[in-house]
Amino acid sequence: MFKMKINPDILRKHILKMVFDKQSGHIGGSFSICEIIAYLYSNYDLINKDKLLLSKGHAVPAIYAALYEMGLISSLDRFREINSPLQGHPDKNKLKYIHATTGSLGQGLSIAIGHALAFKMQKSDAKVFCIVGDGEMQEGQIWEAFMLAPKYKLDNLICIIDYNKFQSEGPTKNLENLTEKIKAFNWIVCEIDGNDIDQINKALENFDNDIKDNWYGRPYCIIAHTKKGAGVSFLEDTNCHSVVLSEKQYKLALKEIS
């Protein structure tokens, strides 16, 4: 039975405040992964055992919000400040709860493979999660990583694609037949509504329960269909990649998710 120690909408409130206070940051892509982040931090030990790598590093406010809700960081006030542990992209040298410094898109899945391979060599049962943006799927390095992971039988690796249909310059293009393409590299693939907690749970429970019997040696990819700006009606399904809200919009957004 899964548990939800963290409320996705509480994460959204923290994200809104962080970005509004600094008038800088990425609301849209942070909102789209709030259910995923809330579920993972509620049901896996991402502090002492398992690892989470955010390849789409600009969405890191969602992680900061989760760490704050868990009592692991005491304040979100220094978001995006110089020398702050809460940089605009994850920096593992500034915050110990970050497992990889990311922000140059396309690199996260390759780094995740290194962690997953290390766990295999240590005979650990820990898992590695990597959240990739749909815009990143246009990077060649991502597809090289998809090709490499099955070679080393990394069935401890879970790639979650945040398929919110937008990237910084507009709608995401050239992702036709994505499931078939990833399956061709010998991954197990499923598609879900990534803003639906029950569907996230089902996808990950299937992985936890069936891995030894049904797909030993094969990594797992979840294509999570999400909404950019999920949770606020005037942001949802728009290109709100790095939008800065007016005070009126900020108050309206807070009211919607209250």
Amino acid at 147: M
Cα separation values, 219 from 114, 132, 155, 157, 187, Å: 13, 15, 4, 5, 5
Q: How far apart are CA 103 and CA 101, in angstroms?
A: 7
Residues 6+ apart with CB under 8 A from 176: none
Is this prediction's pTM over 0.85? yes
Closest by CA position to 51, among listed 125, 115, 142: 115
- Give the pLDDT confidence score for residue 206 in this predicted structure: 78
Domains and CATH numbers, the chain: 8-256 (3.40.50.970)
| Residue 13 to residue 221: CA distance in whole angstroms | 29
pLDDT tens-digit readout, 181-234: 999 999 999 999 999 999 999 999 977 766 555 667 899 999 999 999 999 999
User: Is 254 in a helix, a strand, or coil?
Assistant: helix
